[in-house]
Amino acid sequence: MKDQKELAMELEDEIFNDGLPKAYYKHNENGQYVLETNAPWAEKVSCALIIAGNRANLEEIRKAVLAGQKSPLCYHMELRQLDPGMLAKAAGMAVFRVKRHLRPDVFTKLKPSVLNRYTKALRVTLEELKTVPNS
């Protein structure tokens, strides 16, 4: 239990010490509204939770792709924070086709012309689209 808590603390520190602090309005004792850059604790907690969730999700998909359960397209879609509907619009395709291409057996048989649409929509090279990073 303690390890998990420590990990969460480390993640909070990591993502909030990025050198790009945001500003927050604060009501000080003199009745003035001033800007300060300390992020509220609640924000740190929720941000850490969401980012940890997103990272875990991406990692899970990467492993599923390596195990042959999902197509690499699924990984790149998730990396770009898209869903099948948005990706379909970006690539100029029907949603059901995009969803079909998330299956690895269908994806391996795709023609280069279809793959090129995805490379343009996701801004990856053809090589990258067919693979996922190893670690």
Partner 1 sequence: MTTELAANGKPYVHHHGAHCETAVTSALFRYQGVDISEPMIFGIGSGIFFGYLPFIKLVHLPVTAFRYKPGAVFHKAAKRLGGDFVIKTYRDPQKGMDELRQVLKTGQIVGLSTNLYWLPYVTERHRHNFNGHNIIVLREIEGGFRISDPTFGDPVDCSADGLDQARFVPGPLNPHGYMYYTKSVNPHPDLRGACIKGMKDSCSLMLRIPLPIFGVRGMRFLAKKIIKSPDKLGFQEACRHLAGTVRWVEETGTGGAGFRYMYAAFFHEAAGLFSSDELADLSKEMTAIGDNWREFSLTAARIIKQKDKAEETFAKAGGLILKCADREEAFFRKLQKVARQLKA
Which residues of the chain form contacts with partner 1 (CB under 8 A)? 15-16, 18-27, 31-33, 35, 37, 39-43, 45-47, 49-51, 53-54, 80-83, 86-87, 89-91, 120-121, 123
* Cβ nearer to partner 1, comparing 68 with 126: 126
| Euclidean distance between CA atoms 8 and 59, whole angstroms | 17
Residue 19 beta carbon to partner 1: minimum distance, rounded to whole angstroms: 8
Nearer to partner 1 by C-beta: 25 or 112? 25
In the complex, the smallest distance separating the C-beta of residue 127 from partner 1, rounded to whole angstroms, is 19
Rounded CA-CA distance 73/115 in Å is: 10
Q: Which is nearer to partner 1, 63 or 123 (CB)?
A: 123
Beta bridge partners of 24: 36
Longest dimension (CA), the chain: 69
CA–CA separation, 38 and 43 (whole Å) = 10
Q: Could you tell me the two tokens for 11?
A: 């993640």
Residue 55 beta carbon to partner 1: minimum distance, rounded to whole angstroms = 9
For residue 19, the 8-state DSSP code is: S
Least spacing, CB of residue 105 vs partner 1, in Å: 25
* Helix H or strand E encompassing 31: none
Query: In this complex, which beta carbon is closest to partner 1, that of residue 22 or of residue 108?
Result: 22
